[in-house]
Amino acid sequence: MQSKISAFFKSTTSDSSSVSADNDDDLSIWEKQQHHIINTYTRRPPNPNAVIPSVVKNKKRSYAQFHLDFGQSDFLLRACSTCGINFTPGDPDDEKSHNHFHKSYTQGIQFRGWTKENVIPLPTLEAGRIILVSEIDLTSHRRIVEQVVSMMEIELGCGWILHDLFKVYLFVSLHRVVGCLVAEPIEKAFKVVSGSPDSVKKREVRTRSTTFRFGNVIFQREVEKKVASLSDSERMEGAIFCDSKPTIAACGIRAIWVAPSNRRKGIASKLLDAVRKSFCKDLELERSQLAFSQPTSAGKALATSYTGTGSFLAY
């Protein structure tokens, strides 16, 4: 028969007690039998001048939501449909910069005026003034011109408007530059071939029944309206055709621009009047003597209206 497990262990109580007694030193006996260490403290009186911090409970927190990314294409940047500048919605600095640029584009560049201005007098000009700036003027004057040209480039393209022989006419109204015309000296131009009055022809429309039968079922045919077809020259925005024989010319209208909020007020016509009167020394040009660079559709309409003919000069 197998022995119990307790038979393998012997009691060591007496042995351990004797060993513990032998190992006790004088310090242990002194601590256990004679002395007890007790920590005590005395409460100090309250300080009447002490500042007790106030604790605000249930304070409402304000949260600002800036962006939610749902995979949209303009998550970080958005292009303004009017001025074309890119900005980040929700960014105060970016929105402030966009608002400043947007106002300058739609209402004109802010302009306080100069001490010496080359003002072109026009008898028909009732409000505002037209200032002539050339390449020999002060740097501060040319800096304003560069700011205005940056607005023009949004619609007309970049990098071609200014050069060394330019003459710039600024239309100033209510302390803002609301219109600008850039002119340059030229030697020749070409007469535009005006479009024929029969350039727009209507398509032949056949009279067709709007219903048809399939067995016992009657279907209604959808009718699509026909639009007038345009010639190739009218379909191309701003495209013009000129004679191959050049004509002698002296003044070229390189670019012209009016702030969007000031259009349809005759500002462009006033700028063209100022050019005719002041571009050539001691000589006032006729309307038909002004030559226009490759115009947009709006520029083509302006040139036609101002000169009174579709066969204006182009260069």
| Sequence-distant (≥ 6) Cβ neighbours of residue 309 within 8 angstroms | 194, 288
Digit-coded pLDDT (tens) for 102-131: 888 888 999 999 999 999 999 889 889 999
The pLDDT of 205-224, averaged and rounded, is 60
pLDDT of 230 > 50? The answer is no
HEC string of the chain equals CCCCHHHHCCCCHHHHHHHHHHHCCHHHHHHHHCCCCCCCCCCCCCCCCCCCCCCCCCCCCCCCCCCCCCCCCCCCCEECCCCCCEECCCCHHHHHHHHHHHHHHHHCEECCCCCCCCECCCCCCCCCEEEEEECCCCHHHHHHHHHHHHHHHHHHCCCCCCCCCCEEEEEEECCEEEEEEEEEECCEEEEECCCCCCCCECCCCCCCCCEEEECCEEEECCCCCCCCECCHHHHCCCCCCEEEEEEECCEEEEEEEECHHHCCCCHHHHHHHHHHHHCECCECCCHHHEEECCCCHHHHHHHHHHHCCCCCEEC
> Residue 214 pLDDT > 80, yes or no?
no
* Maximum mean pLDDT: which of 11-15, 106-110, 129-133, 297-301: 129-133
Residue 20, domain member (yes or no): no
Q: 11 vs 270, which has greater pLDDT?
A: 270
Most confidently predicted of 12-26, 78-92, 170-184, 237-251: 170-184
Instruction: Judge if 85 and 188 occupy the same domain.
Output: no
Please tell me the predicted confidence (pLDDT) of residue 206.
Answer: 47
Question: Do the domain assignments include residue 38?
Answer: no
pLDDT reported for residue 197: 41
Q: Is residue 292 part of a domain?
A: yes
Q: Is residue 296 part of a domain?
A: yes
User: CA-to-CA distance for 308 and 315, rounded, in angstroms?
Assistant: 18
- Can you tell me the mean pLDDT for 30-40? 61
Render pLDDT for 136-194 as a digit per residue (tens, 0 to 9): 888 889 999 999 999 999 888 888 998 888 899 999 999 999 999 999 999 999 999 86
Query: What percentage of residues in the chain have a pLDDT greater than 90?
Result: 37
Q: Does residue 99 sit in the same domain as residue 161?
A: no
Task: Find out whether 255 and 274 touch, Cβ atoms under 8 Å.
Answer: no
Q: Check residue 233 and give its pLDDT.
A: 39
Looking at the fold, whether 101 and 157 belong to one and the same domain comes out as: no
Q: What integer pLDDT is reported at residue 161 of this predicted model?
A: 92
| Angstrom distance (rounded) from CA 151 to CA 254 | 15
Total number of domains constituting the chain? 2
What percent of the chain clears pLDDT 70, i.e. is strictly above it? Answer: 63
What is the residue range of 88's domain? 78-107
Residue where one domain finishes, among candidates 89, 107, 125: 107
Instruction: Return the higher-pLDDT residue of 221 and 82.
Output: 82
Q: For residues 142 and 136, give the distance between their C-alpha atoms in angstroms, rounded to a whole number.
A: 9
Question: Same domain for 86 and 171?
Answer: no
Best CA proximity match to 189, nearest among 308, 301, 290, 309: 290
The 10s digit of each residue's pLDDT in 232-274 is 434 445 567 899 999 999 999 999 999 999 999 999 999 999 9
State residue 70's pLDDT score: 65
